[in-house]
């Protein structure tokens, strides 16, 4: 089995078809006549690194959400309590 030497420009274009344009690796592989293994290897070499997602402190986020839930629950229950109070008072 012979090895083909592809230019870096060709490899970058192939990677761009996958990462930027969103074509599946299998389709690009078939269309260009390159193995999918080679495409994955080229993606490691030429693809832009994934943007870093800011880390979230899960503990503080959980506390914040619990406080918000308590506030919303209380706001929801105020009209119920008022209705029950006025219903008792009118009897």
Q: Tens place of pLDDT for every residue, the chain, 91 residues? A: 456 789 999 999 999 999 889 999 999 999 999 999 999 999 999 877 766 666 778 888 999 999 999 999 999 998 888 888 888 877 6
The predicted pLDDT at position 50 comes to 65
Three-class SS of residue 67? helix
Q: Which residues contact 35 (CB under 8 A, 6 or more apart)?
A: 29
Nearest by Cα to 35 from 72, 68, 2: 2
Residues counted in the chain: 91
Determine if the pTM surpasses 0.95.
no
How far is C-alpha 17 from the chain's CA centre? 20
């Amino acid at each position: 089995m012979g090895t083909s030497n592809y230019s870096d420009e060709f490899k970058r274009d192939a990677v761009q078809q996958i990462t930027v344009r969103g074509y599946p690796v299998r389709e690009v592989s078939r269309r260009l006549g390159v193995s999918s293994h080679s495409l994955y290897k080229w993606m490691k070499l030429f693809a832009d690194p994934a943007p870093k997602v800011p880390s979230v402190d899960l503990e503080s986020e959980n506390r914040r959400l619990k406080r918000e839930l308590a506030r919303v629950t209380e706001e929801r229950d105020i009209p119920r309590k008022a209705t029950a109070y006025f219903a008792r008072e009118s009897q």
